[in-house]
Amino acid sequence: MDAADAPPAMTAEATIAPVSEAVSEADGLSPVPDEHRRPGRPRSERADRAIIEATLSLFAESGPAGLCIEKVAARAGVGKATIYRRWPGKEDLLLEAITWLKKPLPEPRGRSVREDLVVVLQALCEQFADPRQTREFALLLGEGAKYPRLIAQYLETVIEPRRAVIRMVLRRGVATGELREDTDVDAAMFMLAGAVLARSRYSSDPVEPGYAGRIVDELLSGLAAR
């Protein structure tokens, strides 16, 4: 752990009075439930949001290696002790911050496989249009070997729920007869999601309207029941 990440020494004053924060905890927001919270003043949802947002912002700029509690505290406008009361260190902080990256996909209506897939892929295109999210994804993949807990958390909380929605639509298509009975659902799911990711990550041009529909139509031309 970097020197800047070392928990601050507890002084007599620190044990009596909580560290003052630029983010007010008397803001009328409900305290965040935390069964492991140490005794003291209630946690502030606004302070938590500021800390998580600062963590994700710094992570997108410099990756996990360049992230430290001191920088997070300065950007969030809180004291280092405020962060350490919530998280033991930067990896634990990042693990929770990753869960905030989850953005639910729209609920498929079930009227047709094509319609549902286009809606889902369009939502993915819009999410990956955010350059910070693309940067975070690239950093997580690149640092996966060094930080296996981080990549596992990202896959579980962000990536797998997206895959599950696409799989559900494809399986429903097989059940309704819109897709072939021998459709390889996982392979099709990776083709669809991969086409969005590759287009967003490896092209400097924005994803044009209609791209999601073209992906779906190209895939369905091979999967459609005959």
Q: Where in the chain is the domain with CATH 1.10.10.60?
A: 3-99
Residues 6+ positions from 215 with CB-CB distance below 8 Å: 121, 192, 195, 196
**162 in Cβ contact with 149 (< 8 Å):** no
Is residue 2 within a helix (H) or strand (E), and if so which, with residue range? none
Q: Which has the minimum average pLDDT: 17-21, 103-107, 171-175?
A: 17-21
| Rounded-to-integer distance, Cα 136 and Cα 143, Å | 10
Q: Global pTM?
A: 0.69
* Terminal CA-CA length for the chain: 60
Average pLDDT over residues 138-153: 77
The hierarchical CATH code for the domain 113-223 is 1.10.357.10
Paired with 179 in beta bridges are: 224
| Rounded-to-integer distance, Cα 39 and Cα 222, Å | 60
Read off the pLDDT of residues 30-86 as tens digits, 9 standing for 90 and up: 333 444 444 445 567 888 899 999 998 888 888 887 889 999 999 999 999 999 999
Q: What is the pLDDT of residue 34?
A: 45
Q: Where in the chain is the domain with CATH 1.10.357.10?
A: 113-223
The hierarchical CATH code for the domain 3-99 is 1.10.10.60
